[in-house]
């Protein structure tokens, strides 16, 4: 099959011929119809992710496609099924899985991280019965590919971890795929949204998706101060949707007393151990929580909102590209300025 491959971290990324994958007994092989290109893939390529402990490597974890091969222990899936899956493929049997928190499974399989991913014609995934999600006929592959990581992660971050409700002020720091998804979801929950980014064209899209206030962090010396000013007492809930020392700190500092910070963006590289204003966490009794994907069992609620039209992840797709263009797109993920999500849809 054709796949996007790199042989060393930060090294050249090429499209090459590699062996077709084979399904594990508990897994399936999926013919990839669409695969989102995510900042996490870029972190993986640069060697920021300890889960990638093998080379060469094929990135890609936001996928949708058709099952072409099912292992002999797979009961729920057969060739021809249209599916997507969370980027955390949970084992289904550890303590976290048994407690319903498959998103923090003790024995995760992550396509594109612990194994080869979906920047390829085919991808093998483990634990199919626990993790595959059937796509409703109304949802096309490109839209579905945007769900597995950024949209589902934002859904869990806003709905479950952030517990956002009508009328609340929600600040979203960083308006890439995660941030824009969070804005769309918070808007559907009738929250009031402050969007923060460093690019005016990205902020314009954030406003079209429902942000009441847009702040260009490049043009503002005191982002938290500005948010506290426009919201009155500070944001009820704030998300670091980028993952940097600055956005993490701003997100915590812009909260009202007893507000809630949700860390969604990965902190990697130089920002791996950011300085956190812990004095504010104490003095304002802030809540700090993380959000790590979303378990397959919770997809039904999100898919229903998409089918009903209350959420429209398609609006977040910036462009679609052929597999051959994926290496250049991956390498440029470190730069800012791209608007919306890029999806590979020709293989």
Residues that bind Zn ion (CB under 5 A): 38, 40, 62, 90-91, 94, 97, 105, 149
Least gap, CB of 279 to Zn ion (angstroms): 33
Q: To which residue do tokens 């999806």 refer? A: 343
Least gap, CB of 323 to Zn ion (angstroms): 17
Under 8 Å between Cβ of 149 and 167: no
Beta strand pairing call for 28-37 and 62-70: antiparallel
Least gap, CB of 330 to Zn ion (angstroms): 12
**Angstrom distance (rounded) from CA 98 to CA 85:** 19
Least gap, CB of 36 to Zn ion (angstroms): 6
Buried b (16+ CB within 10 A) or exposed e, 270-303: ebeebebbeebeeebebbeeebbbbbbbbbeebb
Nearer to Zn ion, 179 or 234 (CB): 179
**Angstrom distance (rounded) from CA 15 to CA 18:** 9
Nearer to Zn ion, 21 or 243 (CB): 243
Nearer to Zn ion, 41 or 197 (CB): 41
Nearer to Zn ion, 94 or 230 (CB): 94
Q: To which residue do tokens 């499209």 refer? A: 15
Cα-trace Rg, the chain: 19
Tokens standing for residue 147: 């769900």
Nearer to Zn ion, 97 or 213 (CB): 97
Show Cβ contacts of residue 136 under 8 Å, excluding neighbours closer than 6 positions. Answer: 303, 307
Nearer to Zn ion, 88 or 186 (CB): 88
Under 8 Å between Cβ of 161 and 180: no
Least gap, CB of 30 to Zn ion (angstroms): 17
Under 8 Å between Cβ of 343 and 37: yes
């Amino acid at each position: 099959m054709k796949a996007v491959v790199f042989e060393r971290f930060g090294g050249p990324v090429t499209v090459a011929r590699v062996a077709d994958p084979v399904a594990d007994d508990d897994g399936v092989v999926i013919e990839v119809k669409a695969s989102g290109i995510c900042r996490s893939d870029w972190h993986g390529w640069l060697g920021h992710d300890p889960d990638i402990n093998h080379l060469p490597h094929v990135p890609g974890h936001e996928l949708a496609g058709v099952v072409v091969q099912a292992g002999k222990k797979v009961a729920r899936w057969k060739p021809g099924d249209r599916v997507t899956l969370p980027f955390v493929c949970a084992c289904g049997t550890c303590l976290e899985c048994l407690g319903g928190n498959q998103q923090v499974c003790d024995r995760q399989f992550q396509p594109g991280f612990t194994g080869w991913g979906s920047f390829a014609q085919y991808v093998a995934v483990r634990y199919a019965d626990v993790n595959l999600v059937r796509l409703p006929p109304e949802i096309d592959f490109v839209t579905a590919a945007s769900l597995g990581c950024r949209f589902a992660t934002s859904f869990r971050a806003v709905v479950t971890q952030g517990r956002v409700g009508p009328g609340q002020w929600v600040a979203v720091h960083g308006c890439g795929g995660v941030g824009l998804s969070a804005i769309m979801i918070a808007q559907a929950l009738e929250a009031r949204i402050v969007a923060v980014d460093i690019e005016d064209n990205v902020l314009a899209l954030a406003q079209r998706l429902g942000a009441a206030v847009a702040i260009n962090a490049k043009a503002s010396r005191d982002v938290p101060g500005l948010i506290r000013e426009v919201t009155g007492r500070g944001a009820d809930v704030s998300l670091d949707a980028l993952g940097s020392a600055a956005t993490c700190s701003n997100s915590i500092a812009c909260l009202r007393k007893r507000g809630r910070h949700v860390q969604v963006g990965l902190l990697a590289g130089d920002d791996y151990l950011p300085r956190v204003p812990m004095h504010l966490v104490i003095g304002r009794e802030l809540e700090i929580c993380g959000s790590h994907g979303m378990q397959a069992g919770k997809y039904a609620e999100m898919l229903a909102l998409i089918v009903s039209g209350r959420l429209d992840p398609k609006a977040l797709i910036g462009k679609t590209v052929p597999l051959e263009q994926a290496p250049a797109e991956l390498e440029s993920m470190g730069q800012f300025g791209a608007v919306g999500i890029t999806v590979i849809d020709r293989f």
